[in-house]
Structure 1
């Protein structure tokens, strides 16, 4: 397993590697294929992780959908928020659509993962259309849920913005700024800069060389004392 990861890290570009890590837990499709062909517990563990992740996304989508529907079917209880305005109402409508897409695509992903075999991965490696189709299917539950959450947050912020409370607008806009910052930090933490990795490796080699030089300098001094 470690050998596979070393090889994949050196041959897979940054974005495809990040996508494969997020979807399959391996740095590349070739790494996933090796796990499947090995026919051991690693693949069953990997499959279960993918199923659990998709199930969790489906659960969240199922909770988001009625929440968005509640905003669509009720009026604002106070003048502080006004989600009857066109902008927040359209956002809540779009959020419910994306939540539905996330739920439906999640069901498709569960069916695909449960029947995923080595031939399907080989076909993805050979046929770009199949690769695009299946990667898109695997990404849709998370992407649609992410879009649903983002649009619903924008809808709620705009509902407060079209309200009549300056204090509420200030608090919500501050929270929205932190929300955007959190999204940026999350995606930035998922990416790996290979220059930083090489810098760390060079630093470690320098430390090893320095320690070796220090040891070589210490040995003659010890012998002279003897």
Structure 2
């Protein structure tokens, strides 16, 4: 069964055509790390983010289809989720909290969702203040740390001059040996194979390349500073 067929199966198993009912139907699939669950959560959050700054337009939906690499003929299934999210009375923060609860303590999965949301927000090449506010809202709703948020943000807007330690999520006084261990753990967590195992659709795994680039840049900067000291 393809990803898109599994999305359709979740939609069909929902007791009614509401976002809340779809969320309930997603719960059992989540335990199996089904990429369809990740996909529906991301589609709905993207729709709510688009609507939050006014009206979710057809152009924004078309841009999302390109980002998500939706194959021809499958647009209607994505549109169903997108429209359910737009029509649901709850706002972005409310649904973000539901997604945070859905994935529970799986911080790595929620970081993957946040990373994808940054990608959607940056589709026009600019991170607008309103979008950044919503992304911070998602961070809080997901229960993610400020270090995690900075790491993801850096992968899209660049590394801030004084931020390499925050991107790596380590204290300033960490030993070089512990720094190397932490870096290796981050590299392991953000490897494409690890993302697929967490339920991220393969078409979105390339986003991890940007995150690892930010992690590598931060690590290299800290190591260079230490070697020069």
| TM bracket (short chain) | under 0.3
> Which structure has the larger Rg over C-alpha atoms?
1
Flag the structure with higher helix content.
Answer: 1
